[in-house]
Amino acid sequence: MNMPGAVHHFYGGVIGPPPTEEHRRSLLEQWVTLETPSALLHGENPSDSAYAFHRCLGVLNGFLQALGLSRSDDRLRSISARELRPIVIIGAITEDLHWHFVSEMLMHPDGKDRGNGKRTVEVHLADLNAAISAIANEVPFIPSRQWRSRAQRRRYEGDAADSVISFQVAAETLLYETWHMLMVDEGASRSDLSLKMLEELPFKTLLVRELHGKLGGSWDTTLPATPIGDYWAKLYLKRNRILHAGNQPHDGDAEEAESVFVRLEAFLEERLRVNLKSYPRTLLAKLGTEELQSRGWMTKWMNDFVNQVNSEPEPFYLPWDTAGRKRS
């Protein structure tokens, strides 16, 4: 990295030894430096110790949006703090216009590059083959996991709007997949399920009637400080404001959307655990045996059930008539 060179170029400052000429020739870098008064502006949060950085980033993103519009160039987009990894250099300019180094600011740890880990080729191949098989055989809950993965790219790509929308798609997919599996557990046939899907059940009805009726717990979307109430206010309605009003979310909106999605998923899994004897196939499809064991949810009853489904001729998550088993 040529940060010492960038500081010297812009401000004549020194923060470390400059790179060698050979290193300098091998670099292709772009730098942005932003300056702003140190005083708080009206409306800024006094408890935000990084207020000056957030102000600068907001101005930069406004400039990038305007530049993209002026050039009709869709390659230009806003960036998030997570993309400025791993650190940002903070300096100050004194009254006599001399720049001096203040500190480094460590950026979001979840914005750092992810390593490949230490897995053998054999492990990689086994995992890849299992994933290909899961997709090909339409294993439940794979689509919601894929949408969640897309939403989490915000940590590396910085698109807050795409993240919020994708988390909502992941949530809807997760809950409709759960409803489908609950009906499989209840003994619905393939044709029963097809008819249910054709009804195009409204999403809110799915929450407050179907899932509430089968799993119990609080599914009231109007109750604040509950998994469902917070999900509705902080993800579902936020997605609607993006789609219907053109709202431009910021990184904090996307981070909040992720938080309430995680709480929603945890709430759903807990309701499945409470109802495991009524909906064991759904719980097994959602978590798998390894996760059930790691959470301490593999009771003797559940272990006997897993042994039973492992002896069935077709995958346990298929309707009884498709799988060739007796109707439960």
14: part of which helix (H) or strand (E)? none
Flag whether 129 is in a domain. no
CB distance 11 to 99 below 8 Å: yes
Flag whether 220 is in a domain. yes
Res. 95: pLDDT tops 90: no
User: Domain boundary residue among 91, 111, 131?
Assistant: 111
Flag whether 306 is in a domain. yes
Residues 189 and 309 in one domain: yes
Q: What is the pTM of this model?
A: 0.71
Flag whether 117 is in a domain. no
Residues 25 and 173 in one domain: no
Give residue 70's pLDDT band: very low, low, confident or very high (50, 70, 90). confident
The model's pLDDT over 252-269, given as tens digits with 9 standing for 90+, comes to: 899 999 999 999 999 999
Three-state secondary-structure class, residue 37: coil
Question: How many structural domains comprise the chain?
Answer: 2
Mean pLDDT, rounded, for 165-175: 97
Residues 302 and 181 in one domain: yes
Residues 75 and 161 in one domain: no
Residues 104 and 166 in one domain: no
Nearest residue to 305 via CA among 324, 285, 319: 285
The model's pLDDT over 279-319, given as tens digits with 9 standing for 90+, comes to: 999 999 999 999 999 999 999 999 999 999 999 989 999 99
Residues 150 and 107 in one domain: no
User: Domain boundary residue among 111, 132, 164?
Assistant: 111
Give residue 272's pLDDT.
98
How far from chain centre, in Å, is Cα 295?
Answer: 22
Flag whether 294 is in a domain. yes
User: Domain boundary residue among 95, 111, 127?
Assistant: 111
Among 45-54, 150-159, 278-287, which stretch is predicted with the lowest mean pLDDT?
Answer: 150-159
Distances (CA, A) of 148 to 142, 165, 174, 223, 234: 10, 10, 10, 25, 16
Flag whether 75 is in a domain. yes
Give residue 110's pLDDT.
62
Domain encompassing residue 44:
3-111
Residues 26 and 149 in one domain: no
Give residue 320's pLDDT band: very low, low, confident or very high (50, 70, 90). very high
Flag whether 126 is in a domain. no
Mean pLDDT of all residues in the chain?
A: 88
